[in-house]
Amino acid sequence: MSKAISQVPFAVNEPVRTYEPGSAEVKSLIATYKQMWKEKVEIPMNIGGKEVKTGEKVTLTSPQDHQHDLGFYHKGTMQHVDDAIKAAMEAKEKWNTLGWEHRAAIFLKAADLIAGPYRDRLNAATMIGQSKNVHQAEIDAACEFIDFLRFNVEFMTEMYAEQPISDQGIWNRAEYRPLEGFCFAVTPFNFTAIAGNLPTCMAMMGNVVVWKPSNNQIYSAKVIMDALTEAGLPGGVINMIFTDGKSTAEKVLAHPDFAALHFTGSTKVFQGMWKLMGDNIHNYKTYPRIVGETGGKDFIMVHPSANVEAVATGMVRGAFEYQGQKCSAASRAYIPRSLWNDVKKVMETQLASVKMGSPEDPSNFVNAVIDKNSFDKCKGYIERAQASKDAEVIFGGKCDDKKGWFVEPTVIETTNPKYESVCEEIFGPILSVYVYEDQDWKATLKLVDETSPYSLTGSIFAQDRYAIDEAYKALENAAGNFYINDKPTGAVVGQQPFGGARASGTNDKAGSKMNLLRWVSVRSVKETFVSPKDYRYPYLG
Ligand code: NAD
């Protein structure tokens, strides 16, 4: 294989299945869901390619039914963190020296397995464990993860092909070495694709990885690990551990061989880890690479020239799909007084038809929030808004935790642009609306830019091209992913590389070559064909 400059298959986005009522694909997915719902799963960790069972069993339940026993996972201790680091370091040399075509083949095979025989299982695990409806599971767990795998293989080869120029008599080369040491991937609950991408993109570049998924995503993490194993990923390249986040970070980030952190999750956790890395900087053999994609307070800014139906649809989809638990979810909307009554009417009509319940019924648009913490947090914001003189709950507001963690899609209208629900990340199905006077358009753009410390996603809705241009310029640094006349969610790999700046992260754009560059350390090689044999240059005479 290394005796050819191979070309990898051209990456295209995985077609999204539509799961129309009565279709064979929806029947198959729901049948898999029902089967997995009733079987009791046992989920071991995976260290050095071996299943590790500790006997400390943690029961798995589902957000849509917190009393339902799905089985259990094996919780690990700090000894397992040590074991995972050791297994990674032992796997390092063989993995590093394997030709890149073999690495590419493993991840391309994993993509095909997930597109085919694993698709229903990965989607169903995401529906059961993370409470996503069929569409949300399909665009995340299946399609986005498949896209990450296929596009990253293509980006890797594009990167390898980028080579320096050479003068006469010499040959310059760039070698894209994996990092020295091991990498650490810490992943969130809300996207199965992110959980899969963070460790695999580092491994793809020749690195070895310790991966700690969120406790709330362990069911789909198991399916990812099963698919990678079947695809032929050698033991020790990605080690999946179920350990306490804080103590694991303290141990891993103090290790001399720690070389990189690839994190997605909340801002506070990321900042805590960055601080730990600072404290340990003198211990490391190499300066660590740090990539973190974190929180957001994503906006929809509406100009008086906007189309009312497009705005209302952007609000309903942008704020309430996956219960607002996307880092990109619209959570604050700024609407001009002249449009508000019409936007409100269309939004209320649309919301009145939204059904909430278990993903087992595909007609439910909204499902449960992830856990009790999230439920209590959402309920707190709603209750405080109901009691506040600055705010009014104009839609939804009911919370029901009898069976699952259900929070109705809720709209809060506030007269205070700095009201708490406009400024803080809630990560639930709550949208705050601030109505501005049409003549205050310019000042409101400034307000949008300055209201939150985040800068992840945002949308501008307008038909007036000058207004679009003005918002585009005024909000240059307010969002890493900026949308014009569309909702601020749903970035597609290869099309809208994703990430934000300010408190939202390091903006290293998941699903792009920019991200992969972080996981290599380039060696520049100069070879001289006819070496000089005398130190004297011509100018010396
Ligand atoms: P979280 O920060 O609670 O958890 C993320 C991961 O960190 C989990 O694996 C968790 O176990 C671990 N962790 C928790 N405390 C830790 C600690 N003290 N030290 C080390 N690790 C620790 O986040 P979450 O609730 O799983 O996910 C939601 C958050 O993720 C939101 O803030 C959301 O905006 C953000 N997010 C951002 C993006 C993005 O691309 N910007 C994408 C998805 C989610």
Residue whose Cα lies nearest atom 26 of ligand 1: it is 188
Quote the tokens at residue 373: 């913490």
The helix (run of H) or strand (run of E) holding residue 449 is helix 441-450
Average pLDDT, the chain: 98
pLDDT band at 23 (very low <50, low <70, confident <90, very high): very high
Does ligand 1 have an atom closer than 6 angstroms to the CB of 291?
Answer: no
Atom 22 of ligand 1, nearest CA residue: 245
Do residue 234 and residue 335 come from a single domain?
no
Both 149 and 166 in one domain: the answer is yes
3-class state of residue 532 by DSSP:
coil
Q: Verify that 69 and 187 share a domain, yes or no.
A: yes
96-144 pLDDT per residue, tens: 999 999 999 999 999 999 999 999 999 999 999 999 999 999 999 999 9
Q: Which of 214, 325, 371 to mutate to test the pocket of ligand 1 (most atoms within 8 A of CB)?
A: 214
Residue whose Cα lies nearest atom 15 of ligand 1: it is 245
Residue 130 lies in a domain: yes
**Confidence band of 422 (pLDDT split at 50, 70, 90):** very high
Tokens of 218: 């362990």
Question: Is residue 29 one of the residues assigned to a domain?
Answer: no
By residue range, what is the domain housing residue 111? 54-294+505-525
Please check whether residues 228 and 306 belong to one and the same domain: no
513 and 460, same structural domain? no
214 lines ligand 1 (CB under 6 A): yes
Atom of ligand 1 nearest to the CA of 505: 41
Catalytic positions: 293, 327
What is the per-residue pLDDT across 431-487, written as a single tens digit (0 to 9) for each?
999 999 999 999 999 999 999 999 999 999 999 999 999 999 999 999 999 999 999
Q: How many domains does the chain have?
A: 2
d(CA 410, CA 390): 16
pLDDT tens profile 37-90: 999 999 999 999 999 999 999 999 999 999 999 999 999 999 999 999 999 999
What is the percent of the chain with per-residue pLDDT over 70, rounded to a whole number? 100
Residue 88: inside a domain, yes or no?
Answer: yes
Residue 427, ligand 1, Cβ within 6 A: yes
How do strand 430-436 and strand 454-455 relate by DSSP bridges? Answer: unpaired
Instruction: Give a yes or no: residue 489 inside a domain.
Output: no
Ligand 1, atom 9: nearest CA belongs to which residue?
Answer: 214
Question: What mean pLDDT do residues 331-354 have?
Answer: 98
Residue 265 alpha carbon to ligand 1 centre in Å = 2
- Whether residue 321 is found in the same domain as residue 469: yes
pTM of the shown model: 0.98
Going by C-alpha positions, the residue among 253, 258, 387, 411 that lies closest to residue 320 is 411
Cβ atoms of 196 and 148 within 8 Å: the answer is yes
Q: Is 171 helix (H, G, I), strand (E, B) or coil?
A: strand
1 pLDDT tier (thresholds 50, 70, 90): low
* Domain CATH number, residue 238: 3.40.605.10
**Residue 260 token pair:** 């990189």
Rounded CA separation 157/152 (Å): 9
Instruction: Let me know whether 59 and 198 are in one domain.
Output: yes
Q: Which atom of ligand 1 is nearest to the CA of 267?
A: 32
The answer to whether residues 140 and 181 belong to one domain is yes
**In terms of domains, do 328 and 473 share one?**
yes
Q: Are residues 143 and 250 in the same domain?
A: yes
Q: What is the percentage of the chain residues whose pLDDT exceeds 90?
A: 99
Q: Whose CA is nearest to atom 37 of ligand 1?
A: 294
Would you say the CB of residue 217 lies under 6 angstroms from ligand 1? no
Does 490 map to a domain?
no
- Domain presence at residue 463: yes
Place of tokens 């079947």: 230
Predicted confidence at residue 421, as pLDDT, reads: 98
| Residues ≥6 apart with Cβ < 8 Å to 382 | 393, 397, 399, 407, 410, 412, 430
Distance in Å, CA 189 to ligand 1 centroid: 7
Chain Cα centroid distance, residue 109: 22
Rounded to the nearest angstrom, the distance between the alpha carbon of 85 and the centre of ligand 1 is 21
**Which of 126, 186, 252 to mutate to test ligand 1, by most ligand atoms within 8 A of the CB atom?**
186
Q: Is the CB of 269 under 6 A from ligand 1?
A: yes
Q: Are residues 341 and 409 in the same domain?
A: yes
From CA 37, how far away is CA 71, in angstroms rounded? 10
Ligand 1 probe mutation, 73, 75, 190, 506, most atoms within 8 A of CB:
190
Together in a domain, 303 and 369: yes
Distance (Å) from CA 350 to ligand 1 centroid: 31
pLDDT tens per residue across span 244-279: 999 999 999 999 999 999 999 999 999 999 999 999
Q: Indicate which CATH number applies to the domain containing 458.
A: 3.40.309.10
3-class SS at 453?
coil
Question: In this structure, is residue 164 part of a structural domain?
Answer: yes
- Residue to mutate (ligand 1; options 264, 424, 452, 506; most atoms within 8 A of CB): 264
Residue with tokens 């909204």: 366
Q: Does 304 sit in the ligand 1 pocket, CB within 6 Å?
A: no
In a domain, 189, yes or no: yes
Q: What is the pLDDT of residue 2?
A: 76
